[in-house]
C-alpha cells in the first residue's frame, strides 16, 4: 500500500446535464510527500475534481484512486484523508469545538484518535471556540475549517482554496502549516486560482482550464518555462536597441520604469552580459510573473 | 453515530419550539377546562362530548389532546423534523463534510431516519404525557366513561389502569400513523437543498390526503389514503373495542413508508453532492 500513489486519476470525466463536460479526461498522479497545487481560473473544474476524489460526485467516466483504492462514497480509505471542500461549513447553532467533535465522531472514530489540541492551536480561536459558529467571522470559519481538515493528521490533505478569507499573517501561518504537514510525509493537494499562492507553497503543480489538464510538473520546471524577464537599466532606449539585436530573443516591451523581455529560452545572465558589454548599466533583473507567465501562456495557447 | 445526530437535533431552538407547542395544547386544554368549566354549546357533538368528559377523569384529557393534535399539528411538527433531516445539512453545507468521512450514505440515512423517528415519537409522547399529568392533577385519576357502540346513550366505564393501557397503545398507534408522511418529507429532504420545501411538501401531503378523504364519492378508495385511519385509535375507547381499523391503519402506513424510503435511498446514493 505504501507504494501506491496518494492520488491517481485515469481518464476521469464528469458531465452535468446543464453544464456539459466540467472535467474532461483527466489523468494525473500525485506522489507521496508532494505539496501539489491544482491551479486554474474559476470554473476550471477544480472543485468538481476534488469532489470526485472524495466520493461526493460520481464520475461520468474514468476512475480516481486514493492510495490505490478506487474512490467510492464513504469508503474506508477516507480515514486517511482530511478535506476542505469549497467553503468551510458548520452546524450554526453549535460551538466551534462541538462542531469539530461532531465532525470527528460522525466518521465513527473515537475522539482519542483525533489531534484536537493541534487542530485547536491551528484554528487559534481562543475562547471563541466555545461560541456558536454563527457568530464567527469569515476568517475564523476558514481557520476552523482548516483545523477540521487537519484533525486526523491524515496521510492526505485536500484543501480547496485554503487561503480565502485569511489575512496576510494567517496566510503565512497557513504556508508554514502546510510545509510541516508535508515534512511529516503526508501529501497535500490544494486547489487555487491564485498563482502566487501555488508558487510559494507547492512543490508540484497542475494547470487546469475548462475541464482540461493543460500542463503538470514541478513548480521549478514551470517557472523555468516562463519566458519573460523584467529589467531596469540606466539607459532604456539603448538597452532596447541592444536587446532587439540579440539572437533568439522575443519582443521587448517598455514597462516603465523598465523593460519586459520575452526570453525564448535565452538565459537572463546572457542578456545582462550583453547589456553590460554594450555599456548599459543594469540595476534590476527579475523573472517577472514566473508561473503567471506560464499560466497565461498556457491558457492563451489553449485558446488558439 | 446516532449520538452525533441526536446531539445536533435535540439541543436546538427548533426542537424546543416544536415540542413546546406539543406541550402547550394539552396545558391550554387543562387550564381552560379547569378555569372555564365544560363548554355549553358546541356545534361539534363529539368534541363537545370529549370536553364534557375531561372533567370526569384526568385520563380523558390526553385523549382529547390526542384527538385534536393528530389531524394537523402533530403532522406539521413531524414534517418539520423529517423535511429538515438532510436538506438542512445541505443548506448549511455540512452535508459534504458528513460524507467525506468514512461513513456510507446508507449509514448516514439510517442514522438520520432513526433520529427523525425518535423525535416524532417524542413529540407524540409529549402530548400524552403533558396531557396526562395536567389532567390527573386537575381532575384526578378516575374511571373513564366510554360510549357503547351503536348503543345510543349507553355508556360503559374503564378502570383507570385499563384506560391508561389503552392510552399508551393509542399513543404509539398515532406515532406510527406519522410514518407515511415522515418518510415522504424525508424523501423530499434527500432531493432538495431547501429544507422548507421538504417541510411544506410533508404538510401538503397530509392536507391533500385529508381533502381526498373528505370526498365521499371516492368511496372505498379513501381507505387507502395515508391519513384515513388517523383517528381509528378512538375504537379502543368504546365498548366493545373496535380494533379492525387500528390494524388497517397500521398496515396502510407500510407501503407508503417503504416506497418513499426506497426512493430516498436510491436517490441519495446516485446523487452528486454539490451543496
CB distance A57–B274 less than 8 Å?
Answer: yes
Kindly give the residue spans of alpha helices, DSSP state H, lying in chain A.
46-53, 96-105, 116-123, 138-150, 168-183, 195-201, 219-224, 236-245, 268-277, 291-303
Is residue A301 in a domain?
Answer: no
Considering the domain architecture, whether residues A209 and A235 belong to the same structural domain is answered as no
pLDDT of residue A292: 63
Centroid of chain to Cα B27:
18
Considering the domain architecture, whether residues A131 and A157 belong to the same structural domain is answered as yes
Can you give A17-36 as a three-state secondary structure string? Answer: CCCEEEEEEEEEEECCCCEE
Instruction: Output the domain CATH number for residue A257.
Output: 3.30.70.100
- Residue reference for cell 432513526: B114
pLDDT of residue A291: 62
Query: For the whole model, what pTM was predicted?
Result: 0.86
Other beta carbons within 10 Å of B70? 23
User: Is the distance from CB of A145 to CB of A123 less than 8 angstroms?
Assistant: no
Centroid of chain to Cα B194:
23
With bands split at pLDDT 50, 70 and 90, how would you rate the model's confidence at A1?
very low
Considering the domain architecture, whether residues A164 and A32 belong to the same structural domain is answered as yes
Considering the domain architecture, whether residues A14 and A133 belong to the same structural domain is answered as yes
Task: Name which of B12, B104, B273 is nearest A51 (Cβ-Cβ).
Answer: B273
Closest residue of chain A to B6, computed from CA coordinates: A102
Is residue A293 in a domain?
Answer: no
Task: Name which of A51, A83, A102 is nearest B4 (Cβ-Cβ).
Answer: A102
Q: pLDDT by residue (tens digit) across A236-283?
A: 888 888 878 877 777 787 777 788 787 777 777 788 888 888 888 888
Residues in CB range of B46: below 8 A, 6 or more apart = none
Is residue A91 in a domain?
Answer: yes
Closest Cα partner for B230 from B168, B190, B175?
B175
Q: Is the pLDDT of residue A72 over 80?
A: yes
pLDDT of residue A175: 87
Greatest C-alpha distance within chain B? 65
Is residue A50 in a domain?
Answer: yes
Alpha carbon distances (Å) from B66 to B24, B27, B50, B61, B250: 13, 12, 11, 9, 17
Is A56 in CB contact (< 8 Å) with chain B?
Answer: yes
How many beta-carbon pairs below 8 A join chains A and B? 88
Is residue A166 in a domain?
Answer: yes
Considering the domain architecture, whether residues A18 and A139 belong to the same structural domain is answered as yes
Residues in CB range of B211: below 8 A, 6 or more apart = none
pLDDT of residue B219: 85
Residues in CB range of B194: below 8 A, 6 or more apart = B87, B91
Considering the domain architecture, whether residues A240 and A96 belong to the same structural domain is answered as no
Other beta carbons within 10 Å of B244? 10
Contacts of A57 in chain B (CB under 8 A): 272-274
Rounded to 10 degrees, the C-alpha dihedral A231/A236/A240/A242 comes to -90
Contacts of B100 in chain A (CB under 8 A): 54-56, 78, 81, 83, 85
**% of chain B at pLDDT higher than 70:** 95
Closest Cα partner for B1 from A81, A240, A106?
A106
Q: Mean pLDDT, to the nearest integer, of B226-241?
A: 92
Closest Cα partner for B27 from B78, B72, B68?
B68
Residues in CB range of B134: below 8 A, 6 or more apart = B26, B27, B29, B30, B58, B61
Is residue A295 in a domain?
Answer: no
Q: Is the pLDDT of residue A168 over 90?
A: no
The whole domain housing A271 covers: 227-288
Q: Which residue has the higher pLDDT, A195 or A58?
A: A58
Q: pLDDT by residue (tens digit) across B58-73?
A: 999 999 999 999 999 9
Considering the domain architecture, whether residues A89 and A207 belong to the same structural domain is answered as yes
Q: Is the pLDDT of residue B42 over 60?
A: no
Structural element, H or E, at residue B146: strand B144-147
Considering the domain architecture, whether residues A48 and A77 belong to the same structural domain is answered as yes
CB distance B101–A107 less than 8 Å?
Answer: yes
CB distance B94–A86 less than 8 Å?
Answer: no
Considering the domain architecture, whether residues A205 and A251 belong to the same structural domain is answered as no
User: Is the distance from CB of A144 to CB of A125 less than 8 angstroms?
Assistant: yes
Grid coordinates of A284: 534590476
**% of chain A at pLDDT higher than 70:** 91
Considering the domain architecture, whether residues A47 and A168 belong to the same structural domain is answered as yes
Contacts of B7 in chain A (CB under 8 A): 98, 102
d(CA B229, CA A250): 85
- Report how many domains make up chain A: 2
User: Is the distance from CB of B7 to CB of A99 less than 8 angstroms?
Assistant: no
- How is B43-92 classified by DSSP, letter by letter? S-HHHHHHHHHHTT-TTHHHHHHHHHHHTTHHHHHHHHHHHHHHHHHHHH
Contacts of B110 in chain A (CB under 8 A): none
- Measured over the CA atoms of residue B78, residue B84, residue B87 and residue B89, the dihedral's sign is negative
Instruction: Output the domain CATH number for residue A66.
Output: 3.40.50.300
- Measured over the CA atoms of residue A59, residue A61, residue A67 and residue A73, the dihedral's sign is positive
Q: Which residue has the higher pLDDT, A120 or A301?
A: A120
Contacts of A88 in chain B (CB under 8 A): 93
Is B107 in CB contact (< 8 Å) with chain A?
Answer: yes
User: A 63-92 residues with CB below 8 A of B?
Assistant: 73-79, 81, 83, 85-92
Amino acid at each position: 500500500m505504501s507504494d501506491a500513489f496518494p492520488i491517481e486519476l485515469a481518464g476521469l470525466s464528469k458531465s452535468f446535464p446543464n453544464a456539459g463536460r466540467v472535467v474532461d479526461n483527466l489523468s494525473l498522479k500525485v506522489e507521496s510527500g508532494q505539496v501539489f497545487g491544482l491551479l486554474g481560473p474559476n470554473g476550471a473544474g477544480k472543485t468538481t475534481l476534488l469532489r470526485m476524489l472524495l466520493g461526493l460526485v460520481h464520475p461520468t467516466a474514468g476512475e480516481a484512486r486514493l492510495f490505490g483504492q478506487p474512490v467510492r462514497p464513504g469508503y474506508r480509505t477516507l480515514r486517511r484523508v482530511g478535506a476542505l471542500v469549497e467553503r468551510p461549513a458548520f452546524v450554526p447553532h453549535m460551538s466551534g469545538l462541538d462542531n469539530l467533535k461532531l465532525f470527528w465522531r460522525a466518521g465513527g472514530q473515537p475522539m482519542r484518535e483525533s489531534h484536537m489540541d493541534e487542530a485547536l492551536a491551528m484554528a487559534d480561536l481562543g475562547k471563541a471556540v466555545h461560541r456558536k459558529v454563527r457568530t464567527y467571522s469569515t476568517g475564523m470559519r476558514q481557520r476552523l475549517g482548516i483545523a477540521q481538515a487537519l484533525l486526523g493528521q491524515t496521510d492526505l490533505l485536500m484543501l480547496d482554496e485554503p487561503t480565502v478569507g485569511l489575512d496576510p499573517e494567517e496566510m503565512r501561518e497557513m504556508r508554514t502549516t502546510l510545509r510541516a504537514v508535508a515534512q511529516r510525509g503526508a501529501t497535500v493537494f490544494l486547489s487555487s486560482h491564485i498563482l502566487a499562492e501555488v508558487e510559494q507553497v507547492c512543490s508540484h503543480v497542475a494547470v487546469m482550464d475548462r475541464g482540461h489538464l493543460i500542463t503538470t510538473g514541478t513548480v521549478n520546471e514551470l517557472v523555468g518555462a516562463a519566458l519573460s524577464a523584467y529589467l531596469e537599466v540606466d539607459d532604456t532606449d539603448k538597452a532596447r536597441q541592444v536587446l532587439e539585436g540579440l539572437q533568439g530573443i522575443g519582443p521587448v516591451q517598455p514597462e516603465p520604469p523598465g523593460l519586459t523581455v520575452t526570453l525564448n529560452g535565452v538565459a537572463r545572465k546572457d542578456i545582462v552580459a550583453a547589456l553590460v558589454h554594450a555599456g548599459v548599466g543594469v540595476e534590476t533583473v527579475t523573472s517577472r510573473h514566473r508561473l503567471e507567465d506560464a499560466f497565461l501562456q498556457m491558457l492563451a495557447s489553449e485558446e488558439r | 453515530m446516532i449520538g452525533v445526530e441526536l446531539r445536533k437535533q435535540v439541543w436546538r431552538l427548533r426542537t424546543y419550539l416544536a415540542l413546546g407547542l406539543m406541550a402547550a395544547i394539552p396545558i391550554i386544554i387543562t387550564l381552560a377546562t379547569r378555569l372555564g368549566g365544560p363548554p355549553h354549546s358546541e356545534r361539534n357533538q363529539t368534541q363537545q362530548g370529549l370536553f364534557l368528559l375531561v372533567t370526569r377523569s384526568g385520563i380523558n384529557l390526553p385523549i382529547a389532546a390526542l384527538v385534536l393534535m393528530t389531524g394537523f399539528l402533530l403532522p406539521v411538527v413531524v414534517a418539520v423534523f423529517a423535511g429538515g433531516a438532510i436538506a438542512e445539512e445541505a443548506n448549511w453545507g455540512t452535508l459534504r463534510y458528513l460524507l467525506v468521512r468514512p461513513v456510507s450514505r446508507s449509514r448516514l440515512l439510517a442514522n438520520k431516519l432513526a433520529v427523525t423517528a425518535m423525535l416524532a415519537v417524542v413529540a407524540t409522547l409529549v402530548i400524552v404525557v403533558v396531557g396526562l399529568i395536567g389532567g390527573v392533577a386537575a381532575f384526578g385519576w378516575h374511571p373513564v366513561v366510554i360510549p357503547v357502540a351503536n348503543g345510543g346513550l349507553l355508556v360503559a366505564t374503564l378502570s383507570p389502569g385499563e384506560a391508561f393501557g389503552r392510552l399508551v397503545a393509542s399513543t404509539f398507534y398515532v406515532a406510527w400513523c406519522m410514518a407515511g408522511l415522515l418518510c415522504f418529507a424525508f424523501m423530499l429532504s434527500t432531493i432538495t437543498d431547501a429544507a422548507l420545501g421538504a417541510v411544506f411538501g410533508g404538510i401538503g401531503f397530509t392536507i391533500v390526503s385529508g381533502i381526498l378523504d373528505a370526498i365521499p364519492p371516492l368511496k372505498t378508495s379513501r381507505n387507502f389514503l395515508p391519513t384515513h385511519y388517523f383517528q381509528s385509535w378512538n375504537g379502543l375507547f368504546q365498548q366493545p373495542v373496535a380494533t379492525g381499523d387500528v390494524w388497517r391503519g397500521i398496515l396502510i402506513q407500510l407501503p407508503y413508508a417503504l416506497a418513499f424510503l426506497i426512493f430516498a435511498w436510491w436517490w441519495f446514493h446516485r446523487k452528486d453532492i454539490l451543496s
